[in-house]
Structure 1
Amino acid sequence: MDFELRILGSSSATPSANRHNTAQILTIGNQYHLIDCGEGTQMQLMLYKIKHQRISNIYISHLHGDHYFGLAGLLSTMHLQGRQAPLHLFGPPGLSEILSLQFKYSGTNLSFKLNFHELDTTVHKKVFEDKQLTVHTIPMEHRIPCCGFLFREKQKPRPLIKENLPSFLTPPQLVRLKWGEDVYDGEGKLLVKNREVTMDPKRSRSYAYCADSRYKPDLLPYLNEVDLLYHEATFADDLRERAEYTFHSTARQAAELAANAQVRQLLIGHFSVRYKDLNPLLNEARSVFPDTDLATEGSIFSVVE
C-alpha cells in the first residue's frame, strides 16, 4: 500500500516565481489527504496530474493566508465539476465562518456535503480515524492558533503461513490468528499457537507535519521515531532572533528537533522568499541531521513498509 507525500508548495508568506504557498498531498492507499491549501493549490494539483475529486480529507493548520487562500477556489471547482462524495475539512475556529461568507456572497450551494471539524489547536488529540489510519493534532506555537498533524497507520495483520495452518480452523479463528491471538477450543485447550502459523506484520508508517511555529522542544513525545517529519525552516540560523520574533524556526532548529526525536527522515520547507538558493538552508540542517531533504515543489517522498 502506498504511503507517499507530494509537495505542492514550499514558500512562506508570499509565493515567488518558482515557489508556491504551502500545500501537500499525502497518499495512503487509495486515500488522498490534502494538508494546507495555499494560493494556487489547485493549479499545482493539475500540474502534477493529481485528481482533486479523490481528495477525501483536507487539513488546515491555521488561518494565515498562505496556508488556506486556495481553499475556497478548490472547493468551488469541485462543486462546478459535480462532486458528489462527501468531504471532511479539519481546521481552526473561524474557518467555517470564512467559507460560509464566501459561498453566501457568491451564491454557491455546494453539490456535495462538506463536513467541517473544528480543531482545538492547543492539544494533542485524535481528530480522524478509519480502518487503516489515525490522525492527531500537534499543538504549535505561532502568532495565531495553529496546529500540525500526525498521521499513523494502525497495526497491520500478521500474514498467515498457509502451509502451517491446520485444516480444521474456521474463518473466525483465522481472523484471530491474523491479529496475534492463539486459538483455543471450548474447554480452554490450546489448539494453535499464533507464532507457529503467522509471520511478523509489515511495519506501520507515520508522518508528522509541523506547521508554522517557534522552535518547540516539548513536541518531542509526539514526534518520537516517526518515519517522516516535515518542519518549517523559514530562516537560516543567523536570523534566529528574527525567527523567534515572528514565531518561526530556523533550519538548524528543525534539524535539532529531528535529531532529538530520532526520526528517520526530515523535510524542511516554508522558506522565506529572501532565499533564492536553498542549499545553505539544506546544508545547515544536514550538519545537524544528515537525513534531511528540501520539501520543494513536485518532490515525492515515499515511506516503505
Structure 2
Amino acid sequence: MDFELRILGSSSATPSANRHHTAQVLTIGNHYHLIDCGEGTQMQLMLYKIKHQRICNIYISHLHGDHYFGLASLLSTMHLQGRQTPLYLFGPPGLSEILSLQFRYSGTNLGFDLIFRELDTTVHEIIFENKEITVHTLPMQHRVPCCGFLFREKPKPRPLIKEKLPAFLAPHQLVSLKSGEDIYDAWGKLLVANKDVTLEPRARRSYAYCSDTRYNPELIPYLRHVDLLYHEATFTHDMHERAHYTFHSTARQAAELAVAAQVRHLLLGHFSVRYKDLSPLLLEAQEVFSRTDLATEGSIFCVREDADQPNEPALD
C-alpha cells in the first residue's frame, strides 16, 4: 500500500516566483489527503497531475491566508466539474462561516456533500479513522488557533506461515492467529501457539505535519518515533528572536525537536521569502539531525512498507 507525500508549496506568508503557499497531498492506499490549501493549490495539483476529484479529506491547520486561500476556489472547481462524492473537511473555528459567506455571495451551491468538522486546536485527539489509518490533531503554538496532524496506520495483521498451519484450523481461528492470539481447545488446552505459525507484522507507518508554531517540546510525546516529520522552519537560528516573536520556528529548532522525538526523517518547509537560497536552512538543521531534507515544490517522500528494509522514507 502506498504511503507517499507530495509537496505542492513551501513558502510562508507571501509566495515567490518559484515557491508557492503551503499545500501537501498525502496518499495512503487509494485515498488522497490534502493538508492545507494555500493560494494556487489547484494549479499545483494540475502541474503535478494529481486528480483533485480523488481527494477524500482536506485538513486546514489555521486561518492565515497562506494556508487556506486556495480552498474556496478548489471546492468551486470540484463542483463545476461534477463532483458527487462526499468530501470531508477539517478545520478551525470560523472556516465554515468563511466558506458559507463566500458561497452565498457567489451564488454557489455545491453539488456534493461537504462534511465539516470543526477542530479544537488546543488538544490532541482523534478526528478521523477508516480501516487503514487514524488521524489525530497536534496542538501548535501560533498567533491564531492552529493545529498540526498526525497520520498513523492501524496495527497490521500477523502474516501466517502457511506450511506450518495445521489442517484442522477453521477460518475464524486463522483470523484469531492473524490478530496475535493463540488457539485453544474447548478445555483450555493450547492447540497452536501464535509464535510458531506467524511472523511479525509489518511496521506501522506514520507522518506528522507540524504547521506554523513556535518551538514546542510538549509535542515530543506525540511525535515519538514518527517515520516522517514535517516541521516549519521559517527562519535560520540567527533570527530566533524574530521567530519567537512571530510564533514561528528556526531550522535548528525543528532539528532539535526531531532529535528529542527520535523521528526517522525530518522535512523542513514554510520558508521566509527572504531566503532565495535555502541551503543555509538545510545545513543548519543537518548539523543537528542529519536525516533532514527540504520539502520543496514537487518533492515526493515515501515511507517503505517492506519490513526487511529500514523503515525510512526515500526521496524519489
TM-score, with length taken from structure 2: 0.96
Aligned to 1:112: 112
Report % sequence identity: 79
Aligned to 1:34: 34
Q: Distance in 2 between matches of 1:111 and 1:184?
A: 54
Q: Are 2:193 and 1:193 equivalent residues in the alignment?
A: yes
Q: Are 2:135 and 1:144 equivalent residues in the alignment?
A: no
Aligned to 1:167: 167
Aligned to 2:103: 103
Q: Please give the per-residue CA displacement for 1:49-76, whole angstroms capped at 9, x wherever unaligned.
A: 0111111110000000000000001111
Q: Distance in 2 between matches of 1:177 and 1:201?
A: 12
Structure 2 gaps, min length 5: 306-316
Aligned to 1:23: 23
Aligned to 1:3: 3
Residue 52 of structure 1 aligns with an amino acid whose one-letter code is H
- Determine helix, strand or coil for the equivalent of 1:281: helix
Aligned to 2:310: none
Aligned to 1:284: 284
The Cα shift of 1:207 comes to: 0.5
Aligned to 1:231: 231
Aligned to 1:87: 87
CA RMSD of aligned residues (A): 0.6
Residue 27 of structure 1 aligns with an amino acid whose one-letter code is T
The Cα shift of 1:187 comes to: 2.1
Q: Distance in 2 between matches of 1:61 and 1:253?
A: 20
Find runs of 4+ consecutive structure 1 residues off by over 3 angstroms. none
Number of residue pairs aligned between Structure 1 and Structure 2: 305
Residue 155 of structure 2 aligns with an amino acid whose one-letter code is Q
Residue 152 of structure 1 aligns with an amino acid whose one-letter code is R
The Cα shift of 1:189 comes to: 1.8
* Residues 192-231 of structure 1 aligned to structure 2 (within 5 Å): 192-231=192-231
The Cα shift of 1:91 comes to: 0.2
Structure 1 gaps, min length 5: none
Q: Distance in 1 between matches of 2:187 and 2:46?
A: 61
Q: Distance in 2 between matches of 1:166 and 1:179?
A: 17
Aligned to 1:49: 49
- Determine helix, strand or coil for the equivalent of 2:188: coil
Q: Distance in 1 between matches of 2:18 and 2:146?
A: 26
Aligned to 2:71: 71
Aligned to 1:157: 157
Q: Distance in 2 between matches of 1:184 and 1:68?
A: 55
Q: Distance in 1 between matches of 2:65 and 2:303?
A: 30
Q: Are 2:185 and 1:181 equivalent residues in the alignment?
A: no
Q: Distance in 1 between matches of 2:62 and 2:92?
A: 6
The Cα shift of 1:199 comes to: 0.7
Question: Mean alpha-carbon deviation: is it higher for 142-151 or for 167-176?
Answer: 167-176
Q: Distance in 1 between matches of 2:205 and 2:84?
A: 31
Residue 201 of structure 2 aligns with an amino acid whose one-letter code is P
- Determine helix, strand or coil for the equivalent of 1:131: coil
